[in-house]
């Protein structure tokens, strides 16, 4: 009986101890610096970081939100982005100016909020310096702009 | 929990009837000393394998693996404690430790423990059974952050608890002592509070074994 019990408990231990990390995420801190927008913008510029794509096969999806922060238009900015390495592919920076300060990009009836974007296909741990985000388009959604900027 | 259950071991064990069947033993998770039962069940979404062997009149060793559509696997092993052992019905309590391995888009894995109460009526030749279980799984998440200007990553570990209770209700058929069948409904509530809806399922099982081994030397 005790030998059977010992074997059973050993099996239970093996089964229990075989479970390791349910998820193992690697994040690297990516230093971003540069400017966004023109001096004539009277409002802060919202910068949003996205993966260019996530998922595989039929579940592959364009752009996926990572982080957002605000910068002063035309002033040099620096920001440390926490970029999860295996969550998706590439990096897309989307910038927009909330002209009417309603917290929404181009709400119904608004069609003059400037936007701009930048694609970085293979970000590494190397800092991305001297980024220039020009807000030269009006009221385009991040996914649409990412698609338009695709080479 | 084991400490709380330990006094039960001191209560004189009920002697299981020698004319038991594999299906009755399976449904009640109780076997006579040296008796064993194995089972295979298939259905939607749960299927699985299970084996048990009696250690003494009260304790039965159990090993099982359940799978939901071959994406979520729940292997576990443990002991069943016979609480009531009458000729017409049995009540037992299982304590198992194991793991969870789930693939697919929502992959997760981690150690788990379960507690299951089984109530079974003797199949003569048909008998009912009810199993109510609570399974607790722990998922450990590790995040390594590589900071600017440092070689070593900053490692943080986060864990979460998932609760998956279940109810199984069915009928056993025991045409022969060594072989039998069951059909049942499976109400498995997977990851309560995380998964919004768990659909009920059903299964058909076959059990076989030696419920009444001959005593040594006879």
Give me the CATH number covering residue B180: 2.40.128
What contacts B149, CB < 8 A, 6 or more positions away? none
- Do A25 and B96 make contact, defined as CB atoms within 8 angstroms? no
Token pair for residue B51?
Answer: 């084996």
pLDDT of residue A13: 53
* Predicted pLDDT at B217: 47
pLDDT of residue B156: 93
Per-residue burial over B38-66, b if 16 or more Cβ lie within 10 Å, else e, is: bbebebebbbbebbbbbbebbbbbbbbbb
Domain count, chain B: 1
Q: What is the pLDDT of residues B14-58, one digit of tens each?
A: 667 777 899 999 999 999 999 999 999 999 999 999 999 999 889
Q: What is the mean pLDDT of residues A121-146?
A: 92
What pairs with residue A19 in β-bridges? Answer: none
A4, A59, A127 ranked by CB distance to B55: nearest: A4
Q: Please answer yes or no on whether B97 and A15 come within 8 Å at the CB atom.
A: yes
Which stretch of A2-11, B108-117, B122-131 has the lowest confidence by average pLDDT? A2-11
First to last CA, chain B: 39
Residue range B60-100, pLDDT digits in tens: 999 999 999 999 999 999 999 999 999 899 999 999 999 99
Tell me whether residues A5 and B61 touch, CB distance under 8 A.
Answer: yes
Structure tokens at A23: 């998820």
Q: What are phi and psi of A110, to 5 degrees?
A: -110, 125
Please tell me which residue of chain A has the smallest CA distance to B159. Answer: A22
Q: A21 to chain B: which residues are within 8 Å by CB?
A: 109, 140-142
Mean pLDDT, residues B9-16 taken together: 67
Chain A residue with CA closest to B144: the answer is A26
Q: Residue A19 has what pLDDT?
A: 47
Interval A139-143 mean pLDDT: 95
- Decide if B150 is inside a domain: yes
The Cα angle at residue B66 between residues B63 and B68, in degrees rounded to 5 = 175
Count Cβ neighbours within 10 Å for each residue of A88-106 and write b for 16 or more, e otherwise: bebbbbbbbbbbeeeeebb
pLDDT digits (tens, 9 = 90+) for B175-209: 999 999 999 999 999 999 998 888 899 999 999 99
Beta bridge partners of B53: B36, B61
Query: Residue B40 belongs to what domain range?
Result: 34-210
Segment B120-129 mean pLDDT: 93
Instruction: Give, in order, the Cα–Cα distances in Å from A136 to each of A13, A66, A120, A141, B192.
Output: 62, 23, 19, 13, 48
Stretch (H or E) spanning A146: helix A142-148
Question: Quick one: pLDDT at residue B71?
Answer: 95
Cβ-Cβ contacts under 8 Å, A31 against chain B: 148
Q: Which residue has the higher pLDDT, A11 or B23?
A: B23
B12/A38: higher pLDDT: A38
**Domains of chain A, start order:** 21-148 (2.60.40)
- Examine residue B45 and say whether the peptide bond preceding it is cis (omega within 30 degrees of 0): yes
Residues of B in contact with A26 (CB under 8 A): 143-144, 146, 153
Taking CB atoms and an 8 Å limit, are B148 and A31 in contact across chains? yes
pLDDT at B218: 43
Of B77, B99, B143, the CB nearest to A25: B143
Non-local (6+) Cβ contacts of B185 within 8 A are B168, B169, B170, B200, B201, B202
Give the C-alpha distances (Å, rounded to integers) separating B192 from B21, B46, B110: 36, 17, 16
- Which of A2, A7, A10, A12 has the most B C-beta neighbours within 10 Å, making it the best mutation to test the interface with B? A12
**Cα dihedral: A20, B142, B166, B118 (round 10):** 40
Give the dihedral sign, CA B78/B83/B84/B85: positive
Calculate the CA B104 to chain-centre distance. Answer: 24
User: Which residues of B fall within a CB distance of 8 Å from A15?
Assistant: 75-77, 97-99
The helix/strand/coil state of B188 is strand
How big is the A-B interface in CB pairs under 8 Å? 87
Residues 31-90 of A with CB under 8 A from B: 31, 59, 80, 82
Q: What's the whole-number mean pLDDT along residues A21-33?
A: 91
A90-120 pLDDT, tens digit each: 999 999 999 999 999 999 999 999 999 999 9
On whether residue B20 sits in a domain, the answer given is no
Q: Which two tokens stand for residue A77?
A: 């900015």
In percent, the amount of chain A with pLDDT more than 90 equals 68
Average of per-residue pLDDT across B130-146: 95
Which residues face B168 on adjacent strands? B131, B186
Using the predicted structure, report yes or no on whether residue B148 has a pLDDT greater than 90: no
Query: Is B18 a domain residue?
Result: no
C-alpha closest to that of A23 among B146, B108, B154: B108
Three-state secondary-structure class, residue A116: strand
Please indicate, yes or no, if residue B203 is contained in any of the structural domains: yes
Is residue B107 a part of any domain in this protein?
yes
Tell me the mean pLDDT in the region A49-65: 93
The answer to whether A8 faces chain B, any CB pair under 8 Å, is: yes
């Amino acid at each position: 009986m005790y030998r059977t019990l010992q074997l059973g408990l050993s099996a239970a231990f093996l089964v229990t101890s075989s479970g390791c990390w349910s998820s193992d995420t690697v994040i690297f801190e990516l230093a971003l610096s540069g400017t966004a927008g023109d001096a004539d913008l009277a409002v802060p510029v919202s910068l949003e970081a996205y993966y260019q794509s996530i998922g595989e096969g039929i579940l592959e999806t364009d752009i996926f939100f990572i982080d957002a922060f605000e910068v002063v238009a035309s002033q040099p900015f620096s920001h440390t982005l926490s970029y999860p390495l295996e969550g998706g592919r590439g990096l897309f920076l989307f910038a927009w100016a909330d002209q009417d300060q309603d917290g929404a990009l181009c709400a119904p009836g608004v069609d003059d909020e400037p936007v701009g974007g930048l694609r970085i296909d293979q970000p590494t741990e190397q800092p991305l310096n001297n980024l220039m985000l020009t807000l030269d388009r009006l009221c385009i959604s991040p996914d649409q702009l990412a698609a338009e900027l695709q080479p | 929990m084991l400490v709380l259950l330990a006094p039960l071991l001191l209560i004189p064990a009920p002697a299981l009837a020698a004319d038991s069947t594999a299906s009755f033993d399976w449904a009640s998770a109780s076997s006579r000393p040296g008796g064993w039962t194995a089972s295979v069940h298939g259905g939607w979404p749960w299927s699985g394998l299970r084996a048990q062997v009696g250690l003494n009149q009260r304790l039965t060793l159990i090993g099982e693996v359940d799978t939901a559509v071959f994406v979520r696997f729940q292997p576990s092993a443990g002991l069943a404690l016979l609480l009531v052992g009458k000729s017409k019905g049995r009540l037992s309590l299982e304590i198992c430790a194991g793991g969870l391995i789930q693939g697919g888009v929502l992959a997760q894995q981690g150690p788990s423990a379960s507690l299951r109460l089984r109530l079974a009526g003797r199949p003569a030749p048909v008998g009912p059974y009810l199993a109510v279980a609570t399974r607790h799984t722990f998922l450990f998440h590790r995040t390594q952050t590589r900071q600017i200007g440092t070689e070593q990553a900053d490692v943080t570990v986060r864990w979460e608890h998932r609760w998956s209770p279940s109810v199984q209700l069915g009928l056993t058929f025991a045409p022969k002592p060594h072989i039998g069948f069951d059909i049942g409904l499976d109400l498995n509530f997977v990851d309560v509070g995380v998964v919004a809806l768990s659909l009920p399922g059903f299964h058909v099982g076959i059990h076989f074994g030696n419920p009444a081994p001959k005593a040594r030397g006879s």
